[in-house]
Structure 1
Amino acid sequence: MLLYMSTSPSQQLSTPLHSVSVAGAVVREDGRILAIRRADNGTWEPPGGVLELSETVEDGVRREVYEETGIKVSVERLTGVYKNVTRGIVALVFRCHPEGGSEQLSDESTAVAWLTPEEITDRMGEVYAVRLLDAVRSDTVPLVRTHDGRTLIDMPRAN
């Protein structure tokens, strides 16, 4: 178990309360976006997973996309930060460009497909669809969104 120093005056050790995951929003020249159908629950999602302690964020994105899809990517930019308040997961989503490889299944995926934005909306739950749709926006400012695992939550912004 990893322990971290708290910021309390007593400087007590505490367990971490969040994990960090990364995902790739891989966009082809024709505008189609890479997605997987997960082996464990059958849902369509962006390729991604938990960031390993010893790797950079960009290396984690490249590794996860390749492991789950067989596609090699270059990482372009951060497009969004998504917090699951129920499970304590912070997901970093990066727009990526395909660089090679070919679609293949893995232990984690039962299907790999290049979907249109409309197909993403039809096949994915809201909290995963928004990650890919945010990534294809022309705006370059990363979005920060919060959800409960199923539905986006509008959180008031601090002034």
Structure 2
Amino acid sequence: MSSSTPEQPSTPLHSVSVAGAVIREDGRVLAIRRADNGTWEPPGGVLELTESVEDGVRREVYEETGIKVSVERLTGVYKNVSRGVVALVFRCQPEGGHEQLSDESTAVAWLTRKEVTDRMAEVYAVRLLDALKDEAAPRVRTHDGRTLINVPQAD
């Protein structure tokens, strides 16, 4: 429920992004080092207005990595409260293509679980770690751009 008043109506604006947690048979996951800020993240980006969510995942992964994927299932929903971005992360399987750089990536790599934890900020690592779990229900998490907010004790 909105906390708006008649004098100041609330008009929240959110951006929706999609990312692929692409997992190989050996358990390694696909990641990129972003060209704009040098951080390691799952491949993904803003969903275009006219495309389906699954088409957006396939497009973003291919554009940033050269890897073609099949989209399996939603593994998490992540909201950045400081930027108003809602990210939908999908577990994917590689189907073809080969690793290549793009204008958005300076490195493309298949990382182990430990490398994900070592190289990525918490808010990006958790997206891949959640996708590696064999849970049917997607995780729903909130963060401020740097750290998770209200993390359950069992994590």
TM > 0.5: yes
Q: Corresponding residue for 1:33?
A: 29
Q: Corresponding residue for 1:117?
A: 113
* 1:55 aligns with one of 51, 60, 63: 51
Aligned-residue Cα RMSD (Å) equals 1.8
User: Is 2:17 aligned against 1:21?
Assistant: yes
Q: Corresponding residue for 1:136?
A: 132
Count residues with an aligned counterpart: 147
**Map of 1:69-108 to 2, 5 A cutoff?**
69-108=65-104
Amino acid in structure 2 at the alignment position of 1:67: E
Gaps of 5+ in 2: none
CA–CA distance in 1 between the matches of 2:89 and 2:59? 14
Could you list the runs of 4 or more consecutive aligned residues of structure 1 that deviate by over 6 angstroms after TM superposition?
Answer: none
Question: Post-superposition shift, 1:16?
Answer: 5.2
Gaps of 5+ in 1: 1-7
Question: Post-superposition shift, 1:140?
Answer: 1.3
What's the TM-score once normalised by structure 1's chain length? 0.88
CA–CA distance in 1 between the matches of 2:123 and 2:53? 21
Identical aligned residues as a percent: 84
Paired residue secondary structure (2:77): strand
Amino acid in structure 1 at the alignment position of 2:141: R
